[in-house]
Structure 1
C-alpha cells in the first residue's frame, strides 16, 4: 500500500523547504526490494555517524565512495575474473550502488575497508556563521537612525 502526501498547503506558508519536501517524496518512492549489500547506520556521537556495509569479496579498488552535495553514493563492481566453471555460485559478486541522503553540513570524514566491512564515518560540521549566537544588548544612548539611501539617478521632485 502506497500513501502519497500532498504538500501543497505547506508551500503556501513556508519558504526554502523545497529540498525537505523533495526528500519526503523520494523516500516514499524508494523500492525496498534490493537490500544488498546489507548495511547499518549508527550514531557514534552528538554529531557523528557511521555507515557500515557488508561488502565481502570486494577489494578497495572495486568499491567507490562518492560524496555529492547532500548525497553519499557507494558503488561496487567486481573485476571480471574467470577462474573456471562454477558448479554452484552462492557468493554474491554482483555490482551494487547504494545512495544515502545526507543532511546539510554532513561531511565524510573517512572510509575504511577491513575484513569485508566498509565503514564510512560522517560528521555534521555546522559553520560558525550558522551557529546560534547571543546578541549583546546595549543600554544608555539610543542607536543611531538608519536612513534610506536614494537610488542613483533618482532626482528630487520639484
Structure 2
C-alpha cells in the first residue's frame, strides 16, 4: 500500500500545497542564529522578535517571497583596521525564514535596542454562505 499525502485524501480538496509548504519549512536552513521569539499579540496577530545586536537598519532586509517571510542580515565592512584581542560578538550574515499561512500579512518592522520586531496579522474572513442552484438535466 502506498503512502497517501494530504493532497491525495478525498476530503482534503485543494490542499496539495500544504505538504510542499511543510517540506519547504523543514528545509529552510535556519541554524539557530539569530535567536528569536514568536508571541501571539491577539487572536489574529503575532510578533516575531529577532536578536540582531550590532546590525543597523541598512544591514537588514525583510522580504516576502512566495508566502515565506525572509529576514536577511549582512553587516558591512567598516573599513577600519581593527585588532581584536577577543571576539565574542557574532558579526556574521544570516537568513531566517518563516512560512506564512494564506491571509497572513506582514505589518510594521521596528528595530529597537538590538531587537527587530516584525508584526503579522490575519484578517478575519467573513462567513460566506453560497447557495448553489440545481438545474434539471435532460434534453
- Select the residue among 34, 39, 42 that pairs with 1:42: 39
1:1-158 paired onto structure 2 within 5 Å: 6-8=3-5, 11-13=8-10, 14-29=12-27, 34-81=31-78, 82-126=80-124, 131-133=126-128, 146=135
Task: Give the structure, 1 or 2, with the largest relative contact order (CA under 8 Å, sep 6 or more).
Answer: 2
Task: Report the CA distance shift for 1:60/1:102 in structure 2 as closer, same or farther (over 3 A).
Answer: same
Deviation digits for residues 35-86 of structure 1 (CA, Å, limit 9, x no counterpart): 1100001110011110000000000010111122311000000001234111
RMSD: 2.7
Rounded to whole Å, the distance in 1 between the matches of 2:42 and 2:73 is 28
Higher strand share: 2
2:5·2:19 contact (CA, 8 Å) conserved in 1? no
Rounded to whole Å, the distance in 2 between the matches of 1:29 and 1:7 is 21
**TM-score, normalised via structure 2 length:** 0.81
Structure 1 position 27, deviation (Å): 4.2
Structure 2 portions without partners, runs of 5+: none
Question: Which structure has the larger Rg over C-alpha atoms?
Answer: 1
Q: Tell me the SS of whatever aligns to 2:88.
A: coil
**TM-score, normalised via structure 1 length:** 0.72
Rounded to whole Å, the distance in 1 between the matches of 2:104 and 2:112 is 24
